[in-house]
A = this chain, B = another copy of it.
Amino acid sequence: METKQISKAVIKRLPRYYRYLGELMEDNVERISSNELSKKMHTTASQIRQDLNNFGGFGQQGYGYNVHYLYTEIGKILGLDTIHPMIILGAGNLGQALANYVDFEKRGFKLVGIFDVNPVLEGIAVRGLEIQMLSELPFFLKENNVEIAILTLPKNKAKEMADILVENGIKAIWNFAHLDLETPDDVIVENVHLSESLMTLSYNLSKYRQEHVE
């Protein structure tokens, strides 16, 4: 089944809509118009309507959007209505931080394994899971249903492990390593390049200084 191609820009905005709708629900707001929402989100009503209409007509003329309904629908679109078993490769500071993110489990992202190379870490429990050695990974992948692998290993190790993940049929990698993974087309890679984000901040700061101090 081939679905209509939806632009990356739209997809990147969906989680933000989801977040705002969640907040509206917390505030017991029942319905909202694209215009009101656009003001809250500092965007245009037109963009909101265009974005949502990629997925269906969730609103009603003269009424707007039902907050709860829209929240649920966007949740479905984002795949938050199913459980996603995840493993973490790299039990360093970042790996452990991600393991302890409560929000993820709430949204269906369920941690089922955590791995590292460092023998010192073996057996230490993180969020109720004992850290395993990366050498056990291929066996683990064959025995367990894993959807998403989180890569928080150093560059070289990350590259090596990505190959093993692909060989064992993993189709989604959340990559925190400072490299672009070379994976087949059917493997989904979502990168979080923290240092690049910090450099962007640094750029904006420098530019601001140049424009205002001199």
User: Of B84, B109, B205, which one neighbours A171 at CB under 8 angstroms?
Assistant: B205
Q: Is A27 close to B, CB under 8 A? A: no
**Complex formed: what's the CA distance from A175 to B98 in Å?**
16
> Quick one: which of B82, B104, B208 contacts A186, CB cutoff 8 A?
B208
**A198: which of B41, B100, B190 is its contact (CB, 8 Å)?**
B190
- Find out whether the CB atom of A1 lies under 8 angstroms from the CB atom of B214: yes
Copies in the complex: 2
Alpha-carbon distance A158/B212, docked complex (angstroms): 27
Minimum CB–CB distance from A12 to chain B (whole Å) comes to 6
- CB <8 Å contact, A107 and B174: no
Asked if A78 lies at the interface with its beta carbon under 8 angstroms from chain B, I say yes
Which of B18, B109, B196 lies in contact with A19, CB distance below 8 A?
A: B196
Residue A96 is within 8 A (CB to CB) of chain B in the complex: yes
Nearest opposing residue in chain B for A205, CB measure = B172
CB-based contact A14/B190 at 8 Å: no
Q: How far is the CA of A16 from the CA of B180 in the complex (A)?
A: 10
Docked Cα-Cα span, A207 to B172, in Å, equals 12
Say whether A124 faces chain B, with CB atoms less than 8 Å apart: no
**From B2, B79, B93, B203, contact of A97 by CB (8 A):** B93
Contact A208–B107 (Cβ < 8 Å)? no
Q: Which chain B positions have C-beta within 8 A of A42?
A: 180
Q: Is A143's CB within 8 Å of the partner chain B?
A: no
Tell me whether A18 and B201 are in contact in the complex, defined as CB-CB below 8 angstroms, given that A96-B93, A101-B194 are known contacts.
no
